[in-house]
Structure 1
Amino acid sequence: MTDVTPPYARIADALRRRITSGELSPGDRVPSTRQLAREWNVALATATKALTALRQDGLVEARPRVGTVVAAPRSRTAAPRRNRAPEPEPGTGATGGGELTRERIVRAAVALADAEGISALSMRSVAARLGTATMAPYRYVNSKDDLLLMMADTVLGDHPLPAPADAPDGWRARLELGARWLWRRHRDHPWLAQIGPLTRPLLLPNLIAYSEWMLSALEGRGLSPATMLDVNVLFYSHVQGLAVQWERETAARSSTGLSEQEWLDRQEGTLAQLTASGAYPAFARVLEALADGGYDLRLDELFESGLAAILDRVARLSGQP
């Protein structure tokens, strides 16, 4: 007898069995949409639909920079909907009732990019996450590029900078606050580092508000307008350059299923060959010195070090304390 169970439901049932049997425990990562699509030979939208069904059952949840993980038992409030399509979120209009809104589309896209990286984002995958028709989001958003701009402006605007009257005293304190504000936004949403090159600045209201904050802190420091813009770019590129590593790690986890440490463990043989070759003596000596304690790449500490260096440079350029 031919199995008429939809592909997404077969995937969801297989993952459900792994969760209920205890093979996957609370907090464990479940396969990403890309892994599921590759393993089951289905479209990304089908894999997304399977994870959406489990999410609506309360069995899994998305965590920024981690991916989709098994939810704690207390989150499992819904009865399993075996072989039934994921129900649309209120107001999605997926079944003809209610109305899909631009804000819902944008928020769904943000959640997807936070969990699996920007490479997993498409109009189709967002529609699948919402449980709506594939073409439905196009009634509100023209393209993926437009969606990315809306996503960026939305997350930047969720936590606005203080009003001018509430700004700290002193140029250095204001620049520190602005840079740390931008760092936190990228830390929460690493895909922000991927949305556009520095040579083509995004004219988003909430990003312009950040530049306004930084440039106003630089006014009166004796810097030329070009130098003020250069300094603004330095702060932005410092944040972007470090934050892009989180986005790449999210994408790597999604595509390979390996954690950072698991990947490093698999490189031990290659690393040993390189250090033993004698071609890289300084590199080998540094690694040998770190043999006992190892080395952890701490992006937050690197951000603070770079921030202090840029601020010191601004002080020297202006010739003022």
Structure 2
Amino acid sequence: MTKPTDASDQPPYLRIVAAVRRRIIDGELAPGDRVPSTRQMAREWGVALATATKALTTLRLEGLVETRPRTGTVVAGTTPGTPRRRHSTPAQASEPELTLDRIVRTAIEIVDAEGMSALSMRGVAARLGVAAMSIYRYAPSKDDLVLLVADAAFGEETYPADAPDGWRPRVELGARTLWTLYRKHPWLAQLNSLNRPLLVPNLLVHGEWMLDALDGHGLDPTRLFDIHVLIYSHVQGLAVHLEWEAHAEAATGQSEDQWMDSRAPALQKLAESGRFPTFAKVIGAFDDGYDLRLDVLFEFGLKALLDGLTPLIEGQEAVA
């Protein structure tokens, strides 16, 4: 008889799996109930997001949980003590056909709920109820799957056939459209760097819209593209903080406000040190502290950026 393993000897992810499994077996979590997300697991058990992701993936591979569209990860319809029904051939034939679109949509659901670190070929296959090798017929590698996922996400917002009059309204529409996408899928901003851009068609749709809005004002190609990159970097540069904050909240178990409150003594010590008089004067003028609002900063920064670029763009002679 094998000697039972002490729970303290188990890797952290297996302890989480055992705890959630016990909740399911005991009926604390019934079929259809939502299970803790990776961020909730990270807070509850004090582990890294990667560890929580591994635990949730293990639960999914064991058949204990499943992901449902617009619901999230829930307890599956069976538990370890319940015989799992094998589908007959007719039932298999009635299930939705495996397609690239289903694979990509499932992958987006995973990343939206659990972050890019949770994405794997095996995990997508498990959610779809197919063999892992089936996914490779559509996406040869995880890198290919990431590109497909990013392309699909960038394609969720499009532009009107009738463009607004004037370069500025068109640029504003392009910037706000990208911001909407990053707000919807915060992980998108983490995938694309200025030096190594994603070469996917649907991201280029947004780039084409911006370039076309700026074209025709006498700007040489380098200056025109510089302006395009500058505007894009404003949008993406703020958007990266959306996902960073989500990770930080999961890792620390504190909201942004709670984290700042916990560091109030350190902040006060810096302000009272006398080394940073302007900093002390500015933060001392806030009645309730500084409220960092990314949406407000996005609009404020966009206006300031375009105000500064207007003389450069409109000061050139238009190209016939």
TM-score range, shorter chain: 0.7 to 0.9
Contact 1:116 1:250 (8 Å CA) reproduced: no
Report 1:31-180 matches (<5 A): 31-32=39-40, 38=47, 44-50=53-59, 53-54=64-65, 61-62=71-72, 80-83=77-80, 99-163=97-161, 166-180=162-176
Aligned pair partner of 1:295 in 281, 284, 290: 290
Match of residue 260 from structure 1: 256
Please, which runs of 5 or more residues in structure 2 have no aligned partner?
5-13
Match of residue 226 from structure 2: 230
Contact 1:109 1:126 (8 Å CA) reproduced: yes
Q: Deviations over 1:87-135 (max 9, x none)?
A: 99xxxx999x765332222222212222233233333443444454455
Q: Deviations over 1:267-320 (max 9, x none)?
A: 233323323333222222222221x32221111111111211222233211335
* AA matched with 1:48: T
Match of residue 270 from structure 2: 274
* AA matched with 2:298: F
Please, which runs of 5 or more residues in structure 1 have no aligned partner?
63-67, 69-75
Do the aligned partners of residues 94 and 155 (structure 1) sit closer, same or farther apart at CA in structure 2, a change above 3 Å counting?
A: farther
CA distance in 1, matches of 2:292, 2:141: 36
* AA matched with 2:237: G
Contact 1:37 1:43 (8 Å CA) reproduced: no
Do the aligned partners of residues 27 and 307 (structure 1) sit closer, same or farther apart at CA in structure 2, a change above 3 Å counting?
A: farther
Q: SS at the partner of 1:193?
A: helix
Q: TM-score, normalised by structure 1?
A: 0.74
- Range that drifts further, 142-151 or 111-120: 111-120
- Range that drifts further, 129-138 or 217-226: 129-138
Q: Deviations over 1:45-80 (max 9, x none)?
A: 44235378455599x944xxxxx7xxxxxxx9x885
CA distance in 1, matches of 2:109, 2:97: 20
Contact 2:17 2:56 (8 Å CA) reproduced: no
Q: SS at the partner of 1:190?
A: coil
Look at both structures and tell me which one has the larger radius of gyration over its CA atoms. 2
Do the aligned partners of residues 122 and 26 (structure 1) sit closer, same or farther apart at CA in structure 2, a change above 3 Å counting?
A: closer
Q: TM-score, normalised by structure 2?
A: 0.74
CA distance in 2, matches of 1:20, 1:123: 31
Do the aligned partners of residues 79 and 118 (structure 1) sit closer, same or farther apart at CA in structure 2, a change above 3 Å counting?
A: closer
Contact 1:57 1:81 (8 Å CA) reproduced: no
Measured on the aligned residues, the alpha-carbon RMSD in Å equals 4.2
Percent of pairs with identical residues: 46
Aligned pair partner of 2:20 in 3, 9, 12: 12
Do the aligned partners of residues 127 and 157 (structure 1) sit closer, same or farther apart at CA in structure 2, a change above 3 Å counting?
A: same
CA distance in 1, matches of 2:245, 2:140: 29
Contact 1:118 1:191 (8 Å CA) reproduced: yes
CA distance in 2, matches of 1:260, 1:19: 35
Q: SS at the partner of 2:275?
A: coil
Do the aligned partners of residues 315 and 87 (structure 1) sit closer, same or farther apart at CA in structure 2, a change above 3 Å counting?
A: farther
CA distance in 2, matches of 1:181, 1:304: 12
